[in-house]
A and B are shown apart, each in its own frame.
Chain A
Amino acid sequence: MGYGDTVIQRDLSFAIRRGDIFVIMGGSGSGKSTLMRSLIGLLAPQAGKILFDGESFWDAPQRARIRRMRRNGVMYQSGALWSSMTLEENVALPLEQYTRLRPSQIHDVAVYKLALVGLSAYCDFYPSEISGGMRKRVGVARAMALDPDILFFDEPSAGLDPLSARLLDDLILELRESLGTTMVVVTHDLASIFAIADDSVFLDAATQTMLTTGNPRELREHSEIQIVRDFLSRGET
Chain B
Amino acid sequence: MRILVGAMNDVVSNPVKPHSDPRMALAREQAGHVVVAIGGAWQLDADLPDLERLDADLFSEQELTSIAFETSDLVAWDSGLVSYLASLAWRCRERGIEVREEGLPEGVQALLRLASTVPERRAEGRNEHADPFLRRFGQDFIDLARSTGEILAFVGEVTLAVRSMVAGRARFRRSELWLLIEEVGADALPIISLISFLVGLILGYIGDQQLAQFGARIFVADLVGLAIVIQMGALITAIVLAGRTGAAFAAQLGTMQVNEEIDALRTLGISPVEFLVLPRLIALVAMTPLLAIYANLTGILGGAFAGTVVGGLNPAEYFTETVAAIGWNHITQGLISATVFGAIVAVSGCLRGMQSGRSAAAVGEATTSAVVTSIVFIVIASAVLTIVFDAVGLS
Interface residues of A (CB under 8 A from B): 1, 10-19, 39, 45, 47-54, 82-84, 95, 98-102, 104-105, 108-109, 111-113, 115-122, 124-128, 134, 144, 146-147, 149-150, 167, 171, 174, 177-180, 182, 184
Q: Quick check: B78 and A128 within 8 Å, CB to CB?
A: no
Q: Tell me the minimal C-beta distance from B107 to chain A in angstroms.
A: 4
Q: Quick check: A112 and B1 within 8 Å, CB to CB?
A: no
* B166: A residues at CB distance < 8 A: none
Q: Quick check: B4 and A16 within 8 Å, CB to CB?
A: yes
Q: Quick check: A15 and B120 within 8 Å, CB to CB?
A: no
* A99: B residues at CB distance < 8 A: 44-45
* B110: A residues at CB distance < 8 A: 174, 177-178
- Report the Cα distance A49→B1, complex, angstroms: 6
Q: In chain A, what residue has the closest Cβ to B6?
A: A18
Q: Quick check: B1 and A104 within 8 Å, CB to CB?
A: no
Q: Once A and B bind, how many residue pairs between them come within 8 Å at the CB atom?
A: 167
Q: Which has the most chain B C-beta neighbours within 10 Å: A119, A120, A146, A149? A: A120
- The verdict on B361 contacting chain A, using a C-beta distance below 8 Å, is yes
Q: Quick check: A127 and B118 within 8 Å, CB to CB?
A: no
- Report the Cα distance A83→B8, complex, angstroms: 39
* A150: B residues at CB distance < 8 A: 5-6
A174 partner, pick from B2, B78, B114, B358, beta carbons under 8 A: B114
Q: In chain A, what residue has the closest Cβ to B78?
A: A147
Q: Quick check: B1 and A95 within 8 Å, CB to CB?
A: no
In the assembled complex, 30 residue pairs joining A and B whose CB atoms fall closer than 8 Å, in A order, are: A14-B4, A15-B8, A16-B5, A16-B7, A17-B10, A19-B11, A49-B1, A49-B2, A84-B361, A99-B44, A105-B84, A109-B79, A115-B86, A115-B115, A115-B120, A116-B111, A116-B115, A118-B119, A118-B120, A124-B128, A125-B123, A128-B357, A128-B358, A128-B362, A147-B44, A167-B118, A171-B118, A174-B114, A179-B111, A182-B5
Q: Quick check: A111 and B122 within 8 Å, CB to CB?
A: no
Q: Tell me the minimal C-beta distance from B123 to chain A in angstroms.
A: 4
Q: In chain A, what residue has the closest Cβ to B107?
A: A178
Q: Quick check: B361 and A179 within 8 Å, CB to CB?
A: no
A118 partner, pick from B7, B9, B51, B121, beta carbons under 8 A: B121
Known: A15-B7, A104-B52, A105-B48. A121 touches B121 (CB 8 A): yes
- The verdict on B50 contacting chain A, using a C-beta distance below 8 Å, is yes
A112 partner, pick from B52, B86, B107, B123, beta carbons under 8 A: B86
- The verdict on B394 contacting chain A, using a C-beta distance below 8 Å, is no
* A178: B residues at CB distance < 8 A: 107-108, 110-111, 114
* A1: B residues at CB distance < 8 A: 1
* B4: A residues at CB distance < 8 A: 14-16, 51, 54
Query: What is the interface size of chain B, counting residues whose CB is below 8 A from a CB of the partner?
Result: 49
A124 partner, pick from B5, B87, B126, B359, beta carbons under 8 A: B126
Q: Quick check: A122 and B121 within 8 Å, CB to CB?
A: yes
B3 partner, pick from A49, A112, A117, beta carbons under 8 A: A49
Q: Quick check: B120 and A120 within 8 Å, CB to CB?
A: yes
- The verdict on B83 contacting chain A, using a C-beta distance below 8 Å, is yes
* A101: B residues at CB distance < 8 A: 44, 48, 80
Q: Quick check: B87 and A108 within 8 Å, CB to CB?
A: yes
Known: A45-B1, A121-B122, A171-B114. A112 touches B87 (CB 8 A): yes
Known: A112-B79, A115-B86, A177-B110. A51 touches B44 (CB 8 A): no
Q: Tell me the minimal C-beta distance from A47 to chain B in angstroms.
A: 6
A54 partner, pick from B7, B43, B48, beta carbons under 8 A: B7
* A53: B residues at CB distance < 8 A: 5-7
- The verdict on B360 contacting chain A, using a C-beta distance below 8 Å, is yes
- The verdict on B116 contacting chain A, using a C-beta distance below 8 Å, is yes
Q: In chain A, what residue has the closest Cβ to B11?
A: A19
* B43: A residues at CB distance < 8 A: 147
- The verdict on B282 contacting chain A, using a C-beta distance below 8 Å, is no
Q: In chain B, what residue has the closest Cβ to A167?
A: B118
Within 27-84 of B, Cβ neighbours of A (below 8 Å) are at 43-45, 47-48, 50-52, 78-80, 82-84
* A125: B residues at CB distance < 8 A: 123, 126
Q: Which has the most chain B C-beta neighbours within 10 Å: A111, A125, A178? A: A178
Q: Tell me the minimal C-beta distance from B1 to chain A in angstroms.
A: 3
Q: Quick check: A51 and B79 within 8 Å, CB to CB?
A: no
Q: Quick check: A115 and B44 within 8 Å, CB to CB?
A: no
Known: A1-B1, A95-B44, A179-B107. A119 touches B121 (CB 8 A): yes
- Report the Cα distance A118→B117, complex, angstroms: 8
Q: Quick check: B9 and A18 within 8 Å, CB to CB?
A: yes
Q: Quick check: A17 and B8 within 8 Å, CB to CB?
A: yes
Q: Quick check: A18 and B87 within 8 Å, CB to CB?
A: no
Q: Quick check: B123 and A19 within 8 Å, CB to CB?
A: no
* A102: B residues at CB distance < 8 A: 48, 50
* A118: B residues at CB distance < 8 A: 118-121
* B361: A residues at CB distance < 8 A: 83-84
Q: Quick check: B118 and A51 within 8 Å, CB to CB?
A: no
- Report the Cα distance A118→B122, complex, angstroms: 10
Q: Quick check: A115 and B84 within 8 Å, CB to CB?
A: no
- Report the Cα distance A174→B115, complex, angstroms: 11
Beyond contacts A83-B360, A111-B83: 12 other A-B pairs, Cβ-Cβ < 8 A, are A16-B5, A17-B6, A18-B6, A19-B10, A51-B2, A51-B7, A84-B361, A101-B48, A113-B83, A116-B115, A171-B114, A177-B110
Q: Tell me the minimal C-beta distance from A120 to chain B in angstroms.
A: 7
Q: Quick check: A10 and B1 within 8 Å, CB to CB?
A: yes
Q: In chain A, what residue has the closest Cβ to B87?
A: A108
